[in-house]
Chain A
Amino acid sequence: MIISDSAKKQIDIWIEKYPQGKQSSAVMEALKLVQAENDNQLTSEAIQAVADYLDMPGIAAAEVATFYENYNHKPVGKHIIRFCHNISCMLNGADDLITHLETKLGVKTGEVTKDGLISVKKVECLGACVGAPMFQIDDQYYEHLTADKIDDIVDGLK
């Protein structure tokens, strides 16, 4: 069973928020909930299961799932570092910091550390330009990053 009863209950809450017959509008939340239950990853089966539950074509759910950065289609680490490399962060040295992070962890962006603890992703603007350069680890933003600050933060991840 790809969608648990508890996830279904939560999806239903989202379905309720939309007019009747527009249940497919809940697709983003549904994908998020199902992803959380499946090792933080969406397989084709999981996307199809969400589509079936929302009575929409599988490909329509897949369009959404592949459009957004926050859905994972490959195995990911326990923590995901989403490093912004858009204009404000880039001007403030994001590219060098990303290289620093890659060297420190021994992985390229898009990969997972060998111990399965950390994935690194390059993402577009996260809307925190005032704190550039920045990244997001799981649900938390970290701003005004420097190489030292990154070392401290990453070393603290368990």
Chain B
Amino acid sequence: MASITIEIDGNIVNAKAGERLITITDREGISVPRFCYHKKLSVSTSCRMCLVDIEGVTKPQTACSTPVSDGMKIHTQNEKAKASQKAVMEFLLINHPLDCPICDQGGECELQDVAVEYGSDVSRFSEGKRVVAPSDIGPLIQTDMTRCIHCTRCVRFGSEIAGIMEMGGTGRGEDLKIEPFLAEGITSELSGNMIDVCPVGALTSKPFRYELRSWQMASADSVARHDLVGSNLYAQTYKGLVKRVVSGDNELVNETWISDRDRFSYEGLAHENRLLLPQIKVEGQWKEVEWNVALDFAIKGLNKNALNSRKAHKLGGLASSTATTEEFYLMQKMLREIGCENIDYRLNVNNLDDPIHLDSNIKLSDLECVDNVLVIGANLRLEQPMINLRLRKAQLAGASVSALNVKAFDYNHKTNHSTVSPNEIATILAGALKVILEKNSLEAPSYITNINPSELSINLADKLLDSERSVIVLGEHVINNTQAASIAQMVAEIAKQVNGKTLNLTSSANTLGAQYAHFLPKSKGMNTNEMLAADMSAFLLLDIYPEYDFHHSNSAVEALSKDDVFVVSLNSFNNELVAQYSDVLLPMAAMYETSGSHVNINHDMQSFAAAVKAPEEAKPAWKILKVIADLLELPGFHYENVTQVSEELKHQKIYEHKQDITIDLGKKSSAIETIWMHSAYHSDALLRHAKSLSSSKIGQTNSASMNTATAKELSLECGNTYLGVPVVVSDTVADRCVFVSSNQSTDMGRES
């Protein structure tokens, strides 16, 4: 676009021809009032508040929709502009109730702020005001639509960003109402952003209703740890409690949006199951004790069961993937210092002998520029909503998206779904690789010489060959595929051949932090599954809940519950099962209560400080680990704050235990394949305790989907359960497969 100069309020300003006036005034710091305009949404010009005076144009023009041209002279503050803006304000306030004192938006309301400057102190409108009956649109968003000024930001957010138009304007004129269509309300995984974009108190946070005024709270920068993105957000706190979470801006990470699970997970912090006091188990009875007593007890137990008798190899250290990088680092440093190599965070993987290795080599912000996407084994919308949001943008810009999934998931963008059994994925990829190698006139490795590429393989290969900027996304459903390692290897090879990128989403939360912290067994160490099978004498656990976290949940509980195994649990929540196998319970700080860092898919180490102090006696896990190390008299733990830990680990290279993989396409199981996933709002402990999320539609998801033939083979029908999960018969599922999305524990195991 050509550079031009325009004049705003007498000042010469540089701009590009065709730019919208409001983007220029925003850039230049000139204040123009607005309600419907939002930098990330389309221009609707519905509120009329941004009227400005342009010389040579008789009527005032809306700054949000007016493209500038060379020499244009604009007045944002002159009499005509001000009078127009005031007139619009008067109309907007005609139907707006004067209920600011009981409105949650009060104090952070765009309408209130602008009305102070542009509104009149007396209303000339003496007729009856419009009233809209309240409606319940779900557990996350509170509506008071009488306050709505019809800016349609929420409607545009739904259709343009969330990809699911749920809000709309029904009726006409005086009867226009912004509402969802059906009684099921708002179900989007990004719905909370509607609260942020609403300029008035029509849409507010339901869990936060009538809690506090915005000015009463302190705001702390923080980073969400529920997915691989690490969305930037603000935790707003009052008297040591997180009261609300709102989105932060970071173009490279989450733009200006956050997912509902990042927004509402804070509710779990105040759950009654929080572990608040250190406890020790004496002769089978739990006793609440002082920290020093609990720590002494823990040290004695560890010494007796593992260290004194030179049995450090019988000690195991396991941590949840939501831990901070510093927690991972300190825990592994301590364990390695006492000679224990049994360290792992991979709890939900069936086969750890052939781990998946795949780099993520594309920046989040570049994802929206790709022209071809192949998704393998992921329901991205729910599992990695922020990544899906970027891919959706790419799709809308013309990228082709193909998915190889066990079920035709409800993506919010146009996707060529191929529902395939997990068993077939490796063969399909091998076929595609063969086609690509042939096109590139390269010799095919022996494992694919006998492959006869299917139509699907050829189709995928053609798309990859035709595109310039491909990305192949490997998702979480692949982790327990019998050929997972081979699949990852072939994905890497295909991407290399077509000059594309790869995105490894097979593990979530802060798993990259764990890899940076080397929280993995090296040399002779045992991995999770080996530990569970071995004759261990002690465990050190960081925020683990076996009934949800482990793939082999039953053997995990069994291994931990053995009489002669001493278990030290650092936990943020307590429950019966944890109490049953643990010998010491050390209350640890949860998200927002601890300082540390999260490593996202771009390998950005994003640091955050604690927004609040942990409740009662709970302490940040890094401190607990440091004190345990001190009590064990280990050298090198003289940290005064978590930053020193961060500094120490910052220079570490990511640790991956790479091994050569022999691709064997014959390795298939003949049994019915089950893919078990926790529902998106049950993927970690804090989320599981967040009440509003759990009662939302996504949180309520609990189904084992299978097609008619599979149901028949298993003699199941709707109303039955499969592994304890209600059966849903749907022909969108591949043959002889079951896709479980569950909000309950895995007491029954995850395999048929």
Residues of A bordering B, CB below 8 Å: 44, 47-48, 57-60, 62-63, 66-67
CA of A63 to CA of B167, assembled, Å: 10
- Check if A66 sits within 8 Å of B170, measured CB to CB: yes
Return B190 CB to nearest CB of chain A, in Å.
15
- With CB as the reference atom, state the residue of chain A lying closest to B177: A66
Is residue B166 within 8 Å, beta carbon to beta carbon, of the partner chain? Answer: yes
- With CB as the reference atom, state the residue of chain B lying closest to A57: B165
CA of A58 to CA of B166, assembled, Å: 8
CB neighbours of A58 from chain B (8 A): 181-182
- Check if A59 sits within 8 Å of B180, measured CB to CB: yes
- Check if B171 sits within 8 Å of A59, measured CB to CB: no
Contact A63-B182, Cβ < 8 Å, known A57-B159, A57-B164 = no
CB neighbours of B171 from chain A (8 A): 66-67
Contact A59-B166, Cβ < 8 Å, known A44-B181, A44-B182, A48-B182 = yes
- Check if B168 sits within 8 Å of A62, measured CB to CB: yes
Residues of B bordering A, CB below 8 Å: 159, 164-172, 180-182
Return B375 CB to nearest CB of chain A, in Å.
22
- Check if B172 sits within 8 Å of A59, measured CB to CB: no
CB neighbours of A62 from chain B (8 A): 168, 170, 181
Return B610 CB to nearest CB of chain A, in Å.
42
CB neighbours of B167 from chain A (8 A): 59
- With CB as the reference atom, state the residue of chain B lying closest to A68: B172
Query: What are 5 inter-chain pairs, A to B, with CB distance below 8 A?
Result: A59-B180, A60-B165, A63-B169, A63-B170, A67-B172
Return A126 CB to nearest CB of chain B, in Å.
16
Return B404 CB to nearest CB of chain A, in Å.
23
CB neighbours of B170 from chain A (8 A): 59, 62-63, 66-67
CA of A62 to CA of B164, assembled, Å: 15
CB neighbours of B164 from chain A (8 A): 57
CB neighbours of B181 from chain A (8 A): 44, 47-48, 57-59, 62
CB neighbours of B168 from chain A (8 A): 57, 59-60, 62-63
Among B167, B181, B182: residue with most chain A CB under 10 A: B181
CB neighbours of A60 from chain B (8 A): 159, 165, 168
Return A54 CB to nearest CB of chain B, in Å.
13
- With CB as the reference atom, state the residue of chain A lying closest to B165: A57
Leading 3 A-B pairs by shortest Cβ distance: A59-B168, A57-B165, A59-B181
CA of A63 to CA of B168, assembled, Å: 7
CA of A62 to CA of B166, assembled, Å: 11
Return A55 CB to nearest CB of chain B, in Å.
10
CA of A57 to CA of B159, assembled, Å: 9
CA of A99 to CA of B181, assembled, Å: 35
CB neighbours of B182 from chain A (8 A): 44, 48, 58
CA of A120 to CA of B30, assembled, Å: 53
Among A47, A59, A60, A66: residue with most chain B CB under 10 A: A59
Return A40 CB to nearest CB of chain B, in Å.
20
Return A82 CB to nearest CB of chain B, in Å.
15
Among B164, B167, B172: residue with most chain A CB under 10 A: B172
- With CB as the reference atom, state the residue of chain B lying closest to A67: B172
Among A44, A47, A48, A58: residue with most chain B CB under 10 A: A58
- With CB as the reference atom, state the residue of chain A lying closest to B175: A66
Return B450 CB to nearest CB of chain A, in Å.
42
- With CB as the reference atom, state the residue of chain B lying closest to A62: B181
Known: A57-B181, A63-B169. 7 other contacts (CB 8 A): A44-B181, A47-B181, A57-B165, A60-B168, A62-B168, A67-B170, A67-B172
CB neighbours of A66 from chain B (8 A): 170-172
- With CB as the reference atom, state the residue of chain B lying closest to A56: B165
Return B169 CB to nearest CB of chain A, in Å.
6
CA of A66 to CA of B172, assembled, Å: 7
CB neighbours of B159 from chain A (8 A): 57, 60
Return B432 CB to nearest CB of chain A, in Å.
28
CA of A17 to CA of B182, assembled, Å: 30
Among B159, B165, B167: residue with most chain A CB under 10 A: B165
CB neighbours of A63 from chain B (8 A): 168-170
CA of A67 to CA of B172, assembled, Å: 5
Return A74 CB to nearest CB of chain B, in Å.
14
CA of A58 to CA of B167, assembled, Å: 10
CA of A96 to CA of B355, assembled, Å: 83
CA of A67 to CA of B173, assembled, Å: 9
Return A59 CB to nearest CB of chain B, in Å.
3
- With CB as the reference atom, state the residue of chain A lying closest to B159: A57
- With CB as the reference atom, state the residue of chain B lying closest to A44: B182
- With CB as the reference atom, state the residue of chain A lying closest to B170: A66
CA of A44 to CA of B181, assembled, Å: 8
Return B150 CB to nearest CB of chain A, in Å.
12
CA of A44 to CA of B167, assembled, Å: 15
CB neighbours of B166 from chain A (8 A): 57, 59
CA of A156 to CA of B165, assembled, Å: 47
Return A53 CB to nearest CB of chain B, in Å.
16
Return A84 CB to nearest CB of chain B, in Å.
16
CA of A149 to CA of B172, assembled, Å: 32
CA of A84 to CA of B238, assembled, Å: 58
CA of A59 to CA of B165, assembled, Å: 7
CB neighbours of B180 from chain A (8 A): 59
CA of A123 to CA of B535, assembled, Å: 83
- With CB as the reference atom, state the residue of chain A lying closest to B180: A59
Return A30 CB to nearest CB of chain B, in Å.
16
CA of A47 to CA of B182, assembled, Å: 11
Return B73 CB to nearest CB of chain A, in Å.
39
CA of A109 to CA of B169, assembled, Å: 24
CA of A44 to CA of B184, assembled, Å: 13
CA of A60 to CA of B167, assembled, Å: 9
Return B463 CB to nearest CB of chain A, in Å.
20
Among A58, A66, A67: residue with most chain B CB under 10 A: A66
CB neighbours of A67 from chain B (8 A): 170-172
CA of A75 to CA of B182, assembled, Å: 20
CA of A103 to CA of B172, assembled, Å: 28
CA of A66 to CA of B173, assembled, Å: 11
CA of A57 to CA of B180, assembled, Å: 11
Return A20 CB to nearest CB of chain B, in Å.
14
CA of A63 to CA of B166, assembled, Å: 11
CA of A123 to CA of B150, assembled, Å: 24
CA of A48 to CA of B168, assembled, Å: 14
CB neighbours of A48 from chain B (8 A): 181-182
CB neighbours of B172 from chain A (8 A): 66-67
CA of A91 to CA of B600, assembled, Å: 69
- With CB as the reference atom, state the residue of chain B lying closest to A58: B181
CA of A44 to CA of B169, assembled, Å: 15
Return B98 CB to nearest CB of chain A, in Å.
28
